[in-house]
Structure 1
Amino acid sequence: MKIIGSCPFCQREVGSDLRPINQLNMEHINILANELKDFEPVTKSECQRSQHSTTPSQVSSTESNDSQSVSLLTEAMLNMVRREFELPADAEEQIPSDHAELILAMLSEEQNCYDKFLQNKSSKTGSKRSRK
């Protein structure tokens, strides 16, 4: 989504469709992570699987609480998405709308971060080419 400015009322970035973009700040992420942690107890096998899936370079003793909260939130959302896609199409159980909104907000935020990364990468590449 292309960001064209910011809303004068709510100070959020506005997309090309002229709607404010919902952004998660660390305070909201921490609150949501705690709610999801209380809502979905992690099983022992899930803990073991997630511990084995990380590399030693990813785990550091100086990891901040913010990054831990984001990690917990992301893991909980991935579990919700995984369960939703494992359900048959005619299943009565569906993902609650508030969970779907949370997932979409997180995906939008990830897309924004990725777009900024690509923009920075292309601007650095462009400046290197102009030097040659």
Structure 2
Amino acid sequence: QGIKDTIRKEPEKFIAYNNGLTITATEGDIIEESGRLFIKSLKDFQIVNGGQTTATIYFSEKDGLDISKVNVMAKINVAKESTIDELEELISNISTFSNAQSRVSKVDLRSRNPQLVQLKGLTESVVTPSGKKWFFERAKG
């Protein structure tokens, strides 16, 4: 639901809020026009991570939402001269490692909040009545 809400309310910020796509291909053809590089074609193109993002954008447009301001970051891995087995292993590993990173809690995401930074500073400089310092942890660890 968060992905669709961003498309609806803040489509221009989609690229900043979304992790994007991870794609594999066996070959890629790049062209240059006016000093910029463009992907002309990808062979054996496969989205390895980002299926939910892709589906949500597709169905959002189908439901009548304007997706013209939605930009999506993509990491493209071109595995040239790989055997089928090597490509399958790469795809499996990308999928496994992309989805096995440590989960970040909402509390940890707020740890950079200016008020929390200020409170942390106070706990390091203000002494308790018993003469001990306060302990305040903005994020786990």
> Which of these two proteins has the greater Rg computed from alpha carbons?
2
Higher helix residue share: 1
The TM-score with structure 2 as length reference comes to 0.24
Higher strand residue share: 2
